[in-house]
Each structure stands twice: as structure tokens, then as C-alpha cells.
Amino acid sequence: MIPVRLSRNAANYLRRETEYLRRRNVAAARGLVDAIKEARLLLQTFPEAGNQAHALQLAGNRVLVVGDYLIEYTSGGTHIDITSIRHGRTALQVPPVDAADPPDAGG
């Protein structure tokens, strides 16, 4: 089985989201934690379970849908890094690209 690691960003999000849910609905908070545990077990066995098409277009990036949440991760062969966890209705944070500055043409 491949080890699955949570980034600091993913762990912090999970803590904040769990606390938010716990204040409103303890069962929902427990359900989120259980779903993330199950997703980690799934990724240990099937590292390519996620979808590449909806992830950032970088080598090895994938997205696994877990209920209302999206788990973004990279698979490096010897381990899996969960880079972020977010609610599916949350917009993906992508660095802005200034259309006025075209890529360097090397000349």
C-alpha cells in the first residue's frame, strides 16, 4: 500500500471544516471525517482512482470526489500527497494570468 499524506493546507481545511460542521451538525462532521478516512484508504489501494480532467493540468494531479468535497492529490509512485480538500461549490484558486504579458518567446 502506498502512503497517503495530507499537506498542511489540506489538514488545516479539514480541521476548519470539521469544526464548522460540528457546531451545526455533529453527525455531518463525523461523516466528513469518516469519508476522508475512506478516501485515503481507497487511494492507498487505487492511486489512480481520481479524475485527471478536472485537476490542475500538472503531471500527476488528480481529483477524487468524496460526497460534496473534492480531494486534489498528486501521485508520485512511492507516495500520494493530498494537496487540498475543498467543498465542490468552492471556486478553484488559480493564480491570475495577465493576458497583456504573453509568454516569453525566447527571443
Q: d(Cα 5, Cα 46) in Å, to the nearest integer?
A: 15
pLDDT of 51 reads 78
Q: Is 10 contained in some domain?
A: yes
Distance CA 73, CA 67 (A): 16
Give the chain's length.
Answer: 107
Is 8 part of any domain?
yes
As a whole number, mean pLDDT of residues 85-89 equals 86
Domain-embedded: residue 96: no
Determine the pLDDT at residue 58.
61
DSSP assigned state of 51:
B
Residue 103 in domain:
no
Domain containing residue 35: 4-87
- CATH number of the structural domain spanning residue 57: 3.30.2310.20
Residue at 93 is within a domain: no
User: Which grid cell is 1?
Assistant: 500500500
**What pLDDT, on a 0 to 100 scale, did the predictor assign at position 69?**
93
Each residue's pLDDT tens digit, 14-71: 999 999 999 999 999 999 999 999 999 999 999 888 877 665 556 668 899 999 999 9
Tell whether the model's pLDDT for residue 81 goes beyond 90: yes
102, part of any domain: no
The total number of structural domains in the chain stands at: 1
Give domain status of residue 50, yes or no: yes
Q: Report pTM.
A: 0.75
pLDDT at 61: 84
27 belongs to a structural domain: yes
Most confident of 49-53, 78-82, 87-91: 78-82
Question: Half-sphere exposure (CA, 13 Å, Cβ side) for 59?
Answer: 2
Query: In this structure, how many other beta carbons lie within 10 angstroms of the beta carbon of residue 85?
Result: 25
